[in-house]
Amino acid sequence: MSLDRSIRWRGLDPATLEHCHVISTPRDTRIRGAIITPAYGLFYRIKLDDSEHVRTVRLERTDGATLELFSDGAGNWSDDRAEPLPALRGCIDIDIWPTPLTNSLPLWRCQWQIGEAQRFAMAWIDADAMTVKRSEQVYTQLDATRFRFQSADFERVLDVDADRLVVTYPGLFERVEEP
């Protein structure tokens, strides 16, 4: 994947505004984003290796709360004190609330066939609480621009663009005119 692009989303529930930038080269992918929520501002950074596996993620809120995680790219995680996080074993991708950007991570990394569901163990990060836990998720490609996303009893059909970045996430996010 080769990408050098800024993207903006408006959160619908709650009302948020996000700006992020993705730079992807054959060597790695680096993502930086900023989100303004009703309760706080959030800055996040994600680094993926050349196989599109998450290697580092750092979140910092304007109130000073931080969360930093490291992965070996094979599903083994540790925190910023190098303490292992066994509950996340096997998670390759992350899913950060409140951003639709992280829905793209498994879409970028995997080969897709229309109608075929793929299951993922995700490191789900709640930026409201600055916590992380394991989340089982399923994505199914419906056509060239739509994926069904399922997690527990939650389901949405995501519209994506040619770079597999979310355009609409019904009820939660919509793309804002790009800069």
Domain count, the chain: 1
Angstrom distances, CA of residue 95 to CA of 46, 99, 104: 11, 8, 9
Please report which confidence band the pLDDT of residue 178 belongs to, taking 50, 70 and 90 as the band edges: low
Answer yes or no: is pLDDT of 19 > 80: yes
Residue 8: which domain range?
3-175
Query: pTM of the full predicted structure?
Result: 0.95
**What is the per-residue pLDDT across 20-54, written as a single tens digit (0 to 9) for each?**
999 999 999 999 999 999 999 999 999 999 999 99
**What is the per-residue pLDDT across 148-158, written as a single tens digit (0 to 9) for each?**
999 999 999 99
